[in-house]
Structures are given as C-alpha cells and as structure tokens.
Structure 1
C-alpha cells in the first residue's frame, strides 16, 4: 500500500542523485511531485521518468539561494496542485576541499548561500504555505558533516550544521500547528557530489567507493534509493511522532 498517496510533494535538487531518487520514491508511493533544480535537462528528465511510470510531476527551474525563485516555486506547486503537503529540501553543493586558511571567501559564500540560506528560504516559503492548509512535513538534507567535523570542508560542515540547527528550531516553532520538520544526515552515498570530493581528495587515484567504502562500518557507501526510503517515510503519517530530529543514515559512520 502506498504510504503517501494523494499528497503533494516538493523536491529541490531533483536532477540527479538523492533528489532524483526521492522524487521517484514520492511518486511511487502515490504523491504528485513538484521538482526543481538549476539543471534543467536533469530535472526535466526526472519528471519524464515519473510520468513514464504513471506518476504526476511538474518541473520548474529554481535557484534556492534566490528568494524570488523560491517563492515562485512554491506558487507553482500551489497553482498546479492546490496545496503543498511535503517538502524535501535537498539542493546542495560541496565546493572546494582546502583548510580554512586556504579557503577562498567566494567558495564559503556560495556554499552557505545554497546549503544554508537555500534551506532557510525554502522552509520559510514552505512553512508559510503549510500554515494555510493546517500542516505538513519537511525533510532537510544535512549530512554526517552536520554532526561531526571533516578537515578541508569547513564551509560545507558549517552549512550542514546550520541545516541541522534550523531544523530543530522550525520543529519547535511549528509543531503545534501540525508541521513536522526533520533532517537526515547521510554518510557517503553514490552521487556526483561524492565523486567530486573523491576526485579532489585523491586526484583521481581512487573512486568514491574505493575512498569511502572502508570508512563505513557496514563496509560500503549507500545508494540514493536507500536515502529516499527514509525521506519519504519521514513525510508519511507513519512518522507522525517524529520531529526535530537530525537522523544519521550512514552505515554506522558516526557511531565510530
């Protein structure tokens, strides 16, 4: 039985990786899905994949760091489907690996703009809409880097700690209005982002799996589909007593 049938779900960063997997899972579980990304070709491809499998989806290009584009995205969801029930704020970037002294300011600013400011702007618009219709569920994509430190990734670590903090605050502020807000903290996952980090860290000498598999007690990195399972469950009524959490989904990484 579909666990989220009839719901309207928004997924940012839906062109590939975790965002695409989440969008496909939402549709598989009965939701109508609104997708966004700055990558138009990838986003449209995700929407086509959903429709080809009998689901309903609409794509809109949006940069989550731009308030007007975020507001237009939420308006698109409401204009198309009448409301917004669930949101997965997944859009994010990794940036450059370097110790703090060598980090360019523009790298820090761009990472914080997309990952932290983008999550804030999306939640602000999503919450505004959900308050009008009496409730909803939001899942923010943080990272194990939002729970612990990673040398060389200070801007990314800062942005994901910010996501986890905002998640807790939003849950406290809007719980009594029927809105649940959680974040998830993936470990290594087989995505373009992890490939980029592996390329930077090893100069191409190791794949992301070769670099990261041994670091996870489970013995491997995760798949986007495994992450999508948790995202959609958290947006379903089966998670009705879960809010304000920063949940690791990391093959035991932060248990070490």
Structure 2
C-alpha cells in the first residue's frame, strides 16, 4: 500500500474523499487506495497512528506524492463531524466521496448477559455515527448533485450469527439506512452503497483470529481459497471494492450491498 506515486492512477483524479476510521484496517487501506488513484484524502479517526503499526495514513500518502489531511474526529459528535466536512472543503475546495469505516465489534457472548450500556455505545459508533457522517455529506452532495457514499457494513448484517447480536443488529441497520438513503437521494444523482466485508485481517478482530475455534469456523464457512491458500481477506481486497463504489465506474449502482466475504453468505 503505497499511497500514491505522482504518475500512478487517475480514477479518482480531482476528487476529495473523507474516510472515517482511516488510520487502521479497511479504512486505512481504502484511504491509501483512493490516494493511489488521485484522490485528495481526509483521514478522520480518533487517533492518527495505525493500530497495526507503521506511519500514519496521511503521512504515507504525502510521502508518495499525494495530498492528505488528518482530522482527529469523534464521529459520534455532530459538531465534530460538521467540522470534519468543513475542513475537507476548506482544505481541498470540495467534497465528493465519504466512506464510513469507523466501527467496532461491540459486546459479544450470551445475549442474555449483554450490558445495555455497551450495546448503546456500540450502536452510537456503528450506526449513529455512520448516519451523522453520511447526513452531513449529503447536505453538500445534494447541492452539487454529485456524491459517492460508501458505508461499511458487514456480511453479518445479512445473516444471523450467535453471540454477535449487537454487531449483526448494527450492521443490518447500516444496510437498511443505506438502502433508504439511496432511494431518497437517487433522483439527485447520488450513489449510496454499502460495502459488506467478511473475515478480514485487521486489528479490530485480532483476538478472534487468535482463537483456534474461530479460525476453524471461518475456514469451514468460507468456500473461496485464494492462490496462497488464504481464506481471510487482506484489507486491500476491501479497498479495491471500495474504490469501485467511490469511482464513476459504479455510476448506475445505488442501494446495493457489495459483499466481499469469500462466499460465506452464498451458502
């Protein structure tokens, strides 16, 4: 993931993209991929340093000849999100793409024992914050009659998974929200789609990947084997899908769930 060389890319040339959760995981990979294709990237995260280690995303983009800003943002705070959008427009003269990759797994385990405060906190980040970011972006997109929204949901928002009730509920709600907004704003020419990852090598699920039983289930439930035998996606696999949704190549696509899960929910 280089960020961008001066002579590379062009599918997002002249576009400005906000990526929440852009310091790590799928958000980081997508921000770097967008920059490779010419986008000016605003990385929004609660912290600049990637959980996986390495230099901050915006520094990587700049080191490779791209344009990027980092904005420390609590995406559950409406004033902070307003400031984020205004900063992007002020820094780069416009806004064309919003990708909402900020999120967490939330409370897990026996649903009878889930702490309701943890449930509320999870939905505040995974649903409320997603809506806030999209809503603020739509206010700008509607005026210019152009905008690409990529919400990050999950394949688990399309199926039920025991002991992941909060996560499934939050991601299912993001999908429903995405579809409703796509119908509402389709007449203005806006493209609003959900990216639905499956198992991906990110810091957010490192404790799951360390569990042999979880590994067994993932291996059993994922039909696809890549050339190297892997059955877990790399963040760049999701970034490539996000790039499609953020580009004009997906101009007649809206309200869709682009599932990238190695065939898990195809069964």
TM (norm. structure 1) is: 0.94
Structure 1 residues 208 and 232: CA distance shift in structure 2, 3 A: farther
User: Deviations for 1:122-181, whole angstroms, at most 9, x for unmatched residues?
Assistant: 111010111122211100000011100111111111100010000001101111112110
Superposed, 1:58-69 pairs within 5 Å as: 58-69=69-80
Residue of structure 1 equivalent to 2:117:
106
Q: Distance in 2 between matches of 1:20 and 1:60?
A: 14
Q: What are structure 2's unaligned runs of at least 5 residues? A: 1-8, 226-230
2:223 to 217, 221, 230: 217
Q: Distance in 1 between matches of 2:244 and 2:214?
A: 27
Residue 35 (structure 1) aligned with residue 43 (structure 2)? yes
Q: Is the 8 A contact 2:48 2:57 kept in 1?
A: no
Q: Is the 8 A contact 1:116 1:163 kept in 2?
A: yes
Q: For residue 214 of structure 1, report the CA deviation from its aligned partner.
A: 3.4
Question: Which portions of structure 1, spanning 4 or more consecutive aligned residues, are displaced by more than 4 angstroms?
Answer: 207-211
Q: What are structure 1's unaligned runs of at least 5 residues? A: none
In structure 1, the residue corresponding to 2:56 is in which secondary structure?
helix
Q: Give the number of the structure whose residues are more often helix, by fraction.
A: 1
Structure 1 residues 209 and 16: CA distance shift in structure 2, 3 A: farther
Q: Is the 8 A contact 1:190 1:208 kept in 2?
A: no
Count of residues in Structure 1 that have an aligned counterpart in Structure 2: 251
1:186 to 190, 194, 197: 197
Structure 1 residues 208 and 52: CA distance shift in structure 2, 3 A: farther
Residue of structure 2 equivalent to 1:5:
13
Q: Is the 8 A contact 1:209 1:221 kept in 2?
A: no
Residue of structure 2 equivalent to 1:24:
32
Residue 49 (structure 1) aligned with residue 60 (structure 2)? yes
Q: Which region of structure 1 is more displaced relative to structure 2, 160-169 or 98-107?
A: 98-107
Q: Is the 8 A contact 1:198 1:207 kept in 2?
A: no
Q: For residue 211 of structure 1, report the CA deviation from its aligned partner.
A: 5.5
Q: Is the 8 A contact 1:195 1:207 kept in 2?
A: no
Coordinate RMSD, CA, aligned: 1.6
TM (norm. structure 2) is: 0.90
